Amino acid sequence: MIGIIGAGAFGTALAVALGTGGRQVRLWARDAAQVQAMQESRRNDGVLPGVLLPENVSIHAEIADVCGGQALLLAVPMQSLGALLDQWPQIDARQPLVACCKGVDLSSLRGPVALIEERRAGATAAILTGPSFAADIAKGLPTALTLATTGDGAALQDLLSTQTLRLYRTNDVRGAELGGALKNVIAIAAGTVIGAGLGDSARAALMTRGYAEMVRLAEALGARAETLAGLSGFGDLVLTCTSSQSRNFRFGHALGRGEAFDATITVEGVATARAVMRLAEGMGVDMPVTAMVDALASGRIALNDAIGQLMRRPLKQE
């Protein structure tokens, strides 16, 4: 049995993919009314309209019901992960704990795996990350992801792979965490460029320079550059900087157009930009794109001023 905590779009999509792949899946949702509705309709139309849950996926209101299996996937937003682990002691080290979120925790400046290891001593902690939209996974479209864990990871890789979900594993946990976190920041910047009408050439330049600072910070924190060149870094960056399915891209697009954005939608890149700037400044790592995203998202700078500051930076070798 595979347990999944979090019946948002990504948690539900993973339940569909794993259930379709023949796994027994138990999915937990916080809201009892949502649980009942999903049990009756076999759908989660609020986040994945029209997608049916396989019969071997059960929906639960009690968190203990989904714990203790072969693996437990934690499909909650990054800024909620610490609170989840603090609130529910039933989430323990009996099974591997796999984070399915991207970002840096604002209070501790830790990534998902480090946060799990801090709260659950002795647990096998991992992160599942990479270029993926929930709708694509739920439809059974081919998707490749990175599974990063400090252990061997082969058994977990086999357990979570299906005919439509292909996992590659790595032991560079820090690199996989940072790739998934930092690309959200650059996606906001890319959306801002397009929303402001600055064109595809500017977006390509922004993505390239953004990727350079992703690698710069990752290496400073002990990650491997080749990890950032893989699915969890470059692959995810391309996806989220070029598609309106990305919430971070849509947020940036609204920012570029000077429009309000739906406050009920989680945009991980905003908090990540703030947390990453605290990390980067403490280490003396130059991250101009991230700095501008943080300043724009917090309203500390106007868009034209941000563009001007980036374009007026000293000329240098690439």
Domains (range + CATH), the chain: 2-171 (3.40.50.720), 182-311 (1.10.1040.10)
pLDDT value at residue 273:
97
* Lateral strand order in the sheet of 143-149: 57-60, 25-28, 2-5, 71-74, 97-99, 125-129, 143-149, 165-170
Contact 177, 113 (CB under 8 A): yes
Contact 26, 69 (CB under 8 A): yes
Q: What is the mean pLDDT of the chain?
A: 96
SS3 call for 142 = coil
* pLDDT > 90? residue 285: yes
Feature table: binding site for substrate: 102, 247-248
The tens digit of pLDDT for each residue in 133-153 reads: 999 999 999 999 999 998 889
Q: How far apart are CA 181 and CA 170, in angstroms?
A: 17
Feature table: binding site: 6-11, 30, 102, 130, 132, 134, 183, 236, 246-248, 268
For helices 200-220 and 268-283, angle between their N-to-C axes, nearest 10 degrees:
50
Q: How far apart are CA 251 and CA 266, in angstroms?
A: 10
316 among known catalytic residues: no
Feature table: binding site for NAD(+): 6-11, 134, 247
The tens digit of pLDDT for each residue in 68-103 reads: 999 999 999 999 999 999 999 999 998 999 999 999
Once rounded to an integer, what is the mean pLDDT over residues 232-254?
97
User: Taking the model in full, what pTM does it have?
Assistant: 0.94
Among candidate residues 119, 183, 203, 250, the one labeled active-site is 183
SS3 call for 148 = strand
The tens digit of pLDDT for each residue in 4-59 reads: 999 999 999 999 999 999 999 999 999 999 999 999 999 999 999 999 999 999 99
Feature table: binding site for sn-glycerol 3-phosphate: 102, 130, 132, 183, 236, 246-248
